[in-house]
Structure 1
Amino acid sequence: MKEETLDYEDFKSDLSSKYMGRSVYYFDSIDSTNTKAKKLASKGAKEGTVIISEEQTAGRGRLGRSWISPKHKGLWMSIILRPNIEPINAVKITQIVAAAIHKSINCLGIKSLIKWPNDIVLNDKKLCGILTEMNAELNTINYVVIGIGINVNLNEDEIPKDIRAIATSLKIESKDTVDRKALLCSILANFEIFYDEFLKNFNMETALKICRENSAILGKEIQVIKKDSCLCAKAIDITNDGRLLVEYKDGSKEYLISEEVSVRGLMGYI
């Protein structure tokens, strides 16, 4: 039986987005879609270009972590963006992507949650990670690359033993195989809507509403992990500019920026 693939010819007729995913670089295997995307972006690849691979041999997550990406089992892709915004505002795009992925997954009848700033979780386990990278000058963004890794049809034995307690897939949780092409098209369409809304007037209202209402951590006690410290705090809110407001045990509050910290539950991942 031939494996289902994610070549552009396989899904273009189902794609409703205007420019997201209308230019596609497809690979059977690649080291990292983000690495390839940055090379293509530096050579002028247009906004909405998608780099997608059936597997990654050196997939990456935030803070240099590795990402397991077995062949034909997930969505391993990167999107090239060229937003006309201040570089400081690029971090907001991660929340927009998270909202789009959450909406698409929930359209499958699967109730996921968003763990600020860049993870989608299911039953307290990580399902998806988002890696945002940027090339910019002082006041100008040259390009942004959004890396997305979603565990779609991995079986439990295909998730490394050392992370099985904190990682899962849509197939494991739903007990059913998920159509990767349909999910891909849905994510690209939802992201384009939220992203265009943001670019038009810097309005993230729709995406932030989804992130707040479906947060895995708001109202909970969490660990705030920085380079030289780990403190307990309560997650209070996600601000209009995508920062996480936390309150520490001594009553002091802080607005966290995603590039600076990791967030964990008191007893583990959530």
Structure 2
Amino acid sequence: MKEKILKELYTHQGKYVSGEELSEKFQVSRTAIWKHMNNLKKQGYTIETTHKKGYRLVETTEKLIKEALKEHLETEEIGQEILCFDSIDSTNNYCKKIAKDAVHGTVVISEEQTVGRGRLGRNWSSPKGEGIWMSIVLKPSIPPTEGMKMTQIAAASVCKAIREITDVEAYIKWPNDIVVGGKKVCGILTEMAGELHKIDYLIVGMGINVNNQEFPEEFQGIATSLTIQKGKKIDRKTLILCILKTFEELYQHYICQGTLEKTLEIIRLYSAVLGKTIRIIKGEEEIKGKVLEINDEGLLKVQLEDGRQEMLISGEISIRSENGYI
């Protein structure tokens, strides 16, 4: 009911809707409408209440509203269904619950995640109303071996959108992190379900530190946010729309052409690792190597200290710079 009321308010944005109208439309009491309005206000929605006029939603950039996103979305597939939550354990977890019946391109967004996570089981801090915690359900007709290319598409999309919307100089730390000023602003987690020769669904999760002002102690040395780097707050809605638009462009190019060419142009242009010496970490083992290239499959070609050349597949590998995170 709360979502129905919110949609009605947004449909009449800028105008008052009387409690009597809402009561009649949804067949509930005026008291029930009043209680739902108070709950929406507690969740952060700015709703004006005026005697004899009713309720009016004041749209702000502080809250992500499904209808506001849908109104300005220019994609055909990605975002054809959008689900917005005030709080959720993890957008990836929720996507896995609904993936079987969800339409391709469904986007799940939450104001906060209570158990956000990244690659290799790492924790991800997802405070309320500060970042973009978002996942996309995909159902492509591609071999399972190609599935992880969605991570490359997501990384290129986020990096390009950040640069376009905020002018912040973001870079891609292969394969799934976006960094600014040597610190992480975004992590991408791609998960897949299917059989040996068939993908049932893919979930691409993106956690972006947008307006975070501080971080838990364990992340302070490696994490930053766009607002810290820019020196002012960023409109999350505008950034989400740009990410989804760019993701669709790169995704459709890959599906139609069978190549990551457009995606890799962005990844190579804004790579944080090309030409650099990195530490390659797998479990307890750590070796050094210089990054020579990112090949046409999106794999990292490195020259190890002993002179051997090797292609790195993301999998269980982490990479760091010689002396720090990146």
Q: Is the 8 A contact 1:130 1:148 kept in 2?
A: yes
* Cα shift at 1:49: 0.1
C-alpha displacement at 1:110, in angstroms?
A: 1.2
Give the structure 2 partner of residue 193 of structure 1.
249
Output the CA distance in 2 between the equivalents of 1:211 and 1:255. Answer: 17
What is the deviation of 1:22? Answer: 1.9
Once the two structures are TM-superposed, the CA of residue 45 in structure 1 deviates from its matched residue by 0.5
Task: Report the residue type matching 2:300 in the other structure.
Answer: L
Distance in structure 1 (CA, Å) of the matches to 2:244 and 2:123 = 24
Which structure has the bigger radius of gyration? 2
Please tell me whether residue 41 in structure 1 is matched to residue 107 in structure 2: no
TM-score (normalizing by structure 2)? 0.80
Provide runs of 4+ in structure 1 moved above 6 Å.
Answer: none
TM-aligned CA deviation for residue 92 of structure 1: 1.1
Q: Residues 67-90 of structure 1: CA distance to partner in whole angstroms, max 9, x if unpaired?
A: 000001000010000111110011
SS in 1 for 2:89: coil
CA distance in 2, matches of 1:228, 1:142: 33
Using the alignment, how far apart are the partners of 2:109 and 2:134 within structure 1?
4
Structure richer in strand, relative to its length: 1
Is the contact between residue 14 and residue 182 of structure 1 (CA under 8 Å) also seen in structure 2?
no
The residue number in structure 2 matching 1:100 is: 157
| Matched ranges for 1:70-81 at <5 A | 70-81=127-138
Deviation string 1:141-167 (CA, Å, 9 cap, x unpaired) is 000000000000011xx3112221210
Report the Cα distance in structure 2 between the residues aligned to 1:52 and 1:164, rounded to whole angstroms.
25
Normalising by structure 1, report the TM-score. Answer: 0.96
SS of 1:223 mapped into structure 2 = strand
Q: Hey, what's the Cα distance between the residues in 1 that align with 2:147 and 2:292?
A: 23
Residue aligned with 2:296, SS: coil
1:121 matched to 2:121:
no
Q: May I ask how many residue pairs the two structures share in their alignment?
A: 267
What secondary structure, in the 3-state scheme, does the structure 1 residue paired with 2:274 have?
coil
- Give the percent of matched residue pairs that are identical in Structure 1 and Structure 2: 48
Q: How far off is 1:91 after superposition? A: 1.0
Gaps of 5+ in 2: 1-43, 47-59
In 1, Cα distance between equivalents of 2:186 and 2:239: 13
Partner of 1:234: 290
Structure 2: how far apart are the matches of 1:196 and 1:234? 33
Q: Distance in 1 between matches of 2:92 and 2:178?
A: 19
Instruction: Give the letter for the 1:171 counterpart.
Output: T
Alignment partner of 1:67: what SS?
coil
Matches within 5 A, 1:1-270: 2=46, 4-42=62-100, 44-107=101-164, 108-155=166-213, 158-270=214-326
Measured in 2, the distance between the counterparts of 1:184 and 1:22 equals 14
1:242, CA displacement in angstroms?
Answer: 1.2
- Alignment partners' CA distance in 1, 2:90 and 2:278: 31
- Deviation per CA, 1:34-71: give whole Å up to 9, x if none: 000011103x2011101110000000100000100000
Q: What RMSD, in angstroms, separates the aligned Cα atoms of the two structures?
A: 1.1
Deviation string, structure 1 residues 104-144 (Cα, Å, up to 9, x no partner): 11112111000000000000000000000000101000000
Moved more, 55-64 or 231-240: 231-240
Q: Which secondary structure does the structure 2 equivalent of 1:73 belong to?
A: coil
